[in-house]
Amino acid sequence: MTSNQEDYLKVLYEAGGLERHISNKEIADKLAVAPASVSEMLAKLNQNGLVEYEPYKGSRLTEAGLAACMDVVRSHRLWEVFLMRHLGYTWREAHEDAHLLEHVAPARMVERLDMFLNHPRMCPHGHEIPQRRELPHPVPLLRLSDLHVGERAVVSQIEEEGALLDYLERIGLHIRKPVEVVEIEEYEGGVTFVQEGRMIHVGQAAARRIFVEREEGSEQ
């Protein structure tokens, strides 16, 4: 499988393509490629039994497709942990360079990396690291923008997009720490919340891409 094919499977997985059909448009947006090349690639993956494509509905990952992308997802997230913990990478840098390493690192290197890092459970952006031979099912998550004033929740994960990662790291957002919403501006306005005693304000677009959980899962 080419690294390009691996990217398609990974995007499908991360968009919830085990549970629902993902449209060509959504895939094209996520990969920043032309819709025509998406159709072409999906036809190929469909032929190889890695996705199941239905006209007008989109594509779902098959079991074979899932198995094929699992190793890539695992490798990507382990590399992110390594790059941040040991090489001083930022959130964005780690995501970008892990994307290069995920395709070239052989399986035994990834397993040694996992041991070296002492089997981390999450990537630095809060996404679960799948264990060998099983992928976690994506959990439906609440967005920061869904919370009301006065509500508390724990930041569980953030969407991995370069500019967003830079922005959230710069304003000092932390993963796995509780937040309490103190103000929501009217009509698609921003959200102001407190995290670890600090007041933080984010715009609506960012608030929709920060995911939270209601139960107490914070590290005290």
The interface region with Zn ion, picked from 53-61, 127-135, 183-191, 201-209 by CB under 5 A, is: 127-135
Q: Are the CB atoms for 111 and 118 separated by under 8 Å? A: no
Task: Select 30 or 125, whichever has its Cβ closest to Zn ion.
Answer: 125
Pick from 170, 159, 88, 77: nearest CA to 124: 77
HSE-CB at 9 with a 13 A cutoff on CA atoms is: 27
d(CA 135, CA 70) in angstroms, rounded, equals 6
Smallest gap from Cβ 56 to Zn ion, in A, equals 31
**Residue with nearest beta carbon to Zn ion:** 123
Q: Does 95 bind Zn ion (CB under 5 A)?
A: yes
Q: Are the CB atoms for 121 and 129 separated by under 8 Å? A: yes
Q: Does 123 bind Zn ion (CB under 5 A)?
A: yes
Q: Does 160 bind Zn ion (CB under 5 A)?
A: yes
Site map (CB under 5 A) of Zn ion, residues 39-78, x = contact? ----------------------------------------
Question: Residue 61 contacts by C-beta under 8 Å, 6 or more apart in sequence?
Answer: 9, 12, 13, 17, 18, 50, 51, 52, 69
Task: Select 60 or 95, whichever has its Cβ closest to Zn ion.
Answer: 95
Smallest gap from Cβ 91 to Zn ion, in A, equals 8
